[in-house]
Structure 1
Amino acid sequence: MKSGKLMLRWASGIMIVLGAGHLSLLAVMAREDVARWVDRGMWAAVPLELSDRGAVQTPASLQNEVTFWAGPGSFAVALILLGCLTWHLAGRGVAVPAAIGWGLAAWCALGGVLLVPSPFFAGTIAGALIVLAARKGRRSEADRRAGRPAAGARETT
């Protein structure tokens, strides 16, 4: 397995574990709120009450909103999807753009600073791996175009 592909697989694994772990932790910590969604029916389980100008927000309704934004409304689902896409692209030998890695690393570093302690910092590792894989892919492409053997390839005589 090429090292760029391996780096992308590790990055995708980190993203999938972070996203799934976040959702799993929420399911355990807020199981009563999620159970109420199921009891009420999933349709409009988290109402957006902007139209009720005089409505007083109760602690229960606030907790319901927090549970939504910490779970299915959070970036955990998007992180899992990005991890799956990265895994798929790695399998096809397609490099993920370095900008994705830089963005992921910056987002996770900021999240880690704002929410200490948290596993957010593990996402910076995934971002760095994507950046390194993109650079390695760019170097390999330049070598291929120049007719040089790829790094680590054996020359035959």
Structure 2
Amino acid sequence: MGRWAGRTLMILGAVHLVVLGAQNLDFVDEWFTGALWGLPREEFIHPSGANGAFWSSIGSFAVPMMLLGALVADLARRSVTVPASIGWGLAVWCVVGAAILEPTPMLLGLVPAALLIRQARAARLSAPASGDRAR
């Protein structure tokens, strides 16, 4: 379950990055000319143009989501269970985001969240009771 959760997170992050990156290719040249340096406060509150394109693509959650997915998949490969709190946190983030913005693909994040929660629960149920451990 952990490997699939990690892979799903990596795929979701990559799709987000590719799709929104492709939609914002017109602004890439501005990113590397210093156009985003020293922006007025208003641009941070209401990003538009090259600034908005940056925050919806390379500056978005996509790269951290891919890194989290890689970590989760690697931990699963090593038979390390990710705490259920990671799955619950991801689930809450997706539900809150979906409540704010609809329609949204954020609900797809519930798939890896559920896998992580199930994996943690299965690990907890299969673990020996603390009193049964040899000292």
The interval holding the TM-score normalised by the smaller chain is 0.7 to 0.9
Change (3 A) 1:69 1:138: same
1:142 is displaced (CA, Å) by: 2.2
Count of aligned residue pairs for this structure pair: 130
Instruction: Give the structure 2 partner of residue 18 of structure 1.
Output: 12
* TM-score, length-scaled by structure 1: 0.73
- Confirm or deny that 1:46 pairs with 2:36: yes
Check the 8 A contact 1:18/1:119 in 2, yes or no: no
1:115 is displaced (CA, Å) by: 2.0
- Confirm or deny that 1:131 pairs with 2:117: yes
The structure whose Rg is larger is 1
- Confirm or deny that 1:31 pairs with 2:25: yes
Equivalent position to 1:69, from 50, 55, 65 = 55
Q: Which has the higher helix share?
A: 2
> Residue type matched to 2:101 in 1?
L
Give 5+ residue unaligned stretches, structure 2: none
Using the alignment, how far apart are the partners of 1:115 and 1:35 within structure 2?
29
C-alpha RMSD of the superposition = 2.4
Matches within 5 A, 1:108-123: 108-123=94-109
Moved over 6 A (4+): none
1:143 is displaced (CA, Å) by: 6.5
SS of 1:142's equivalent in the other structure is coil
